[in-house]
Amino acid sequence: MIQVGTLTSLGSLKAVRMRDVLRDFSISKGKEEGFLEIYSGRKIESPTSQKAKSRRLAIHGEHDLHVFLNLYAPYLRSLLFFNIGYSKCGFIFKDFKLLRVLNGVPMPSQALSVVGSLIQLRYLGVLMRTDMEKIELPRSIGKLKNLQTLIVENYDKYCKLKNLRHLLLVHGARAMIRLDTLNNLRTLKNVHSGRGMEDGGLASMTNLRQLKMVVLAKEHLNSVVSNIERLHCLESSSLEFAGSFPTAINLSHLEHLHKLNLDEEIKKLPDPQQFPPNLVKLTLISSYLEEDSIVRLGRLPNLKMLLLGSDSYKWTKLVCSSSEGFPQLHILHLQSLLSLEELIVEEGAMMKLKNLKIDRCPRLRKIPERFKLLTTYS
């Protein structure tokens, strides 16, 4: 009745498939037991007394929610909004004393101060803007001592959320934030380098597992690299540099780092022994690799997935000349390599390849015969 849908590059479960009969039954049973309610469509009818006792509520689309939501206030633990704007939202959240999860919050920044009264919140995801308005969190957000996950446009540097585990800034947010009060973070995404990095805030985040960072200025590069080398618990990292990637970087002691995404020119790849020893997934974008870089990448002993994205490789031939290259590679993804015409792989290399993905490589016409049944195009 429930089947494995897709797996991550590390082989863990990413999505499952469920038969429509089981899905409908689960939703029906959930409503019956007061576990959840789902509202969609253009009009919402007033809930029955039993429905209003549901602890989890998801709302899709535009609705007049002021009176409707007040009926749920004494019971709700989780409230999710999807595809909703600000125009219909005149309600106030201060009565939702038991709320733990609040996502897609449809309110302008001047109304956000009431969120600070939801002291049970563990998860807060705020809609990022209305028209040209940017949302900035009020200082009252610092009252949320139990908050563990925060998704927002900007982060108020005065909010000392010591229990925060996951901070996700919206892609494109250029917040220069201090990190010295966030020592318990596990996830930090879409942060831009700045003074907070130079002051050692990043290096103090010794519990960090996932990091996605944009290094805006070349003068921050050495400091950021030095700090990253100290993050021994790091499992996944995505780095975009303003200048060239430093070949002197040494990540060989980061034994837990399995996923690495690099976005910027790499004049010369580090030696294979300078890469994380257990690296499983590597994504390269705008790296302008030298032609012989593929041989170096082929020496990474545990690499299972390699994605070469736009401007990562500008040569007409991609050659894996080592007969034992890429010993564990399962997935090779070639994306937007506009100059590539031929993929050449020696016999004995990439022997465990299961999927060759070719995406927007208009000149690529020649691939090894043994890969043709493994190839998908898009």
Bigger pLDDT: 100 vs 172: 100
Residue 15's beta-bridge partner residues? Answer: 6
The mean pLDDT value of the chain amounts to 82
Burial of 259 (0-12, 13-18, 19+ CB in 10 A): buried
pLDDT, tens digit (0-9, with 9 covering 90-100), for 106-121:
665 555 677 788 889 9
Query: What pLDDT does 111 receive?
Result: 59
From residue 263, give the alpha-carbon distance in Å to each of 197, 213, 287, 308: 19, 10, 7, 11
Q: Which of 105, 133, 109, 132 is nearest to 118 (CA)?
A: 105
Secondary element (H or E) of residue 141: none
Q: Which residues of 179-202 are buried (b: 16+ CB within 10 A; e: fewer)?
A: bebbeebbbbbbbbbbebbeeebb
pTM of the model: 0.85
Give CA–CA dist 10/188, Å, rounded: 20
Give CA–CA dist 171/38, Å, rounded: 28
Is pLDDT of 275 > 60?
A: yes
Give CA–CA dist 214/224, Å, rounded: 10
Bigger pLDDT: 71 vs 352: 352
Give CA–CA dist 151/167, Å, rounded: 6
Query: What pLDDT does 125 receive?
Result: 85
Name the band, by pLDDT with cuts 50, 70 and 90, for residue 309.
very high
Query: What pLDDT does 72 receive?
Result: 84
Q: Which of 162, 160, 212 is nearest to 191 (CA)?
A: 212
Residue 98, SS3? coil
Q: Which of 118, 143, 37 is nearest to 107 (CA)?
A: 118
Is pLDDT of 306 > 70?
A: yes
Secondary element (H or E) of residue 176: none
Give the HSE-up count for residue 29: Cα atoms under 13 Å, Cβ half-sphere: 6
Alpha helix positions (H), 63-117:
66-70
